[in-house]
């Protein structure tokens, strides 16, 4: 489904965030997809990138920016995310808008930013693209970027790595869009049962992190974490 430009629902695990994200390849995103994510999912619409793409764009983790800037801005030393209950670190990097956007927040603006990240990402797989990245994007913006761990799910099993692994296995540009599914009734994450019901009604797959990890290990020849 990812290869055909449709959504896939991905549940990480009960031991981690225990959340379901809507996932789609960035190269396929149109304004209607952004509208679906904000209306049906409701979480933060983020773009996860293969580590080679992130590296060739020159992207830092935001915690690395904090570390450098904390010498001048002491508050950054105090807000370091060193107490995450489900992970060792945060995957957040810069937030961006494409330079052709206006405010950057509309469905059309975000779709443009996301598609252009995929377009440049296809070239950035194989070489430095920081100059092109800077020519095309401004920061801060409305699309958060999430660089994946170098060994993807063999190293870290967050939605960032799960989605990029899914894209890699599908043979598409490994730049993916993820958005947490939330529940307006309980004001918490959407339950796995409700997510499966949503997927079933719309004819979409709902897969577990474990399934993605197992498939990725098989593709890589049985490597362990």
User: Measured in whole angstroms, how far is the alpha carbon of residue 140 from the centre of its chain?
Assistant: 17
> DSSP letters along 159-225, please?
HHHHHHHHHHHHTS-SEEEEEEBEETTTTEEPPHHHHHHHHHHHT--EEEHHHHHHHHHHHTTS---
If one counts every other C-beta atom within 10 angstroms of the C-beta of residue 86, the result is: 12
Cβ contacts of 99 within 8 Å, gap of 6 or more: 135, 136, 137, 138
Say how far apart CA 190 and CA 20 lie, in whole Å.
Answer: 7
To 10 degrees, the CA torsion angle through 147, 151, 2, 104? 0
Residue 186 burial (10 A CB sphere; 0-12, 13-18, 19+): exposed
The phi and psi torsions of 213 (rounded to 5 degrees) equal -60, -45
Retrieve residue 140's tokens. 């801060």
Residues forming the active site: 21, 46, 86, 97, 142, 180
Nearest CA among 191, 168, 182, 207 for reference residue 25: 168
């Amino acid at each position: 489904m990812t290869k055909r430009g449709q959504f896939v629902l991905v549940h990480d695990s009960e031991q981690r965030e225990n959340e379901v994200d809507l996932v789609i390849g960035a190269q396929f995103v149109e304004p209607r997809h952004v509208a679906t994510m904000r209306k049906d999912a409701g979480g933060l619409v983020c773009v996860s990138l293969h580590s080679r793409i992130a590296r060739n764009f020159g992207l830092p983790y935001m915690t690395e920016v904090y570390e450098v800037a904390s010498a001048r801005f002491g508050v950054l030393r105090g807000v370091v995310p060193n107490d995450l209950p489900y992970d060792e670190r945060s995957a957040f990097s810069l937030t961006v808008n494409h330079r052709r956007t206006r405010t950057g927040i509309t469905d059309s603006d975000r779709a443009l930013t996301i598609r252009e990240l995929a377009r440049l990402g296809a070239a950035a797989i194989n070489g430095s693209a920081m100059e092109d990245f800077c020519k095309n994007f401004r920061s801060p913006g409305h699309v958060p970027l999430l660089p994946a761990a170098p060994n993807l799910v063999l190293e870290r099993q967050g939605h960032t790595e799960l989605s990029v692994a899914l894209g890699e296995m599908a043979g598409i540009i490994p730049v993916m869009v993820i958005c947490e599914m939330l529940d307006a009734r309980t004001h918490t994450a959407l339950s796995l049962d409700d997510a499966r019901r949503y997927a079933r009604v719309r004819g979409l797959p709902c897969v577990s992190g474990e399934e993605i990890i197992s498939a990725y290990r098989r593709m890589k020849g049985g490597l362990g974490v």
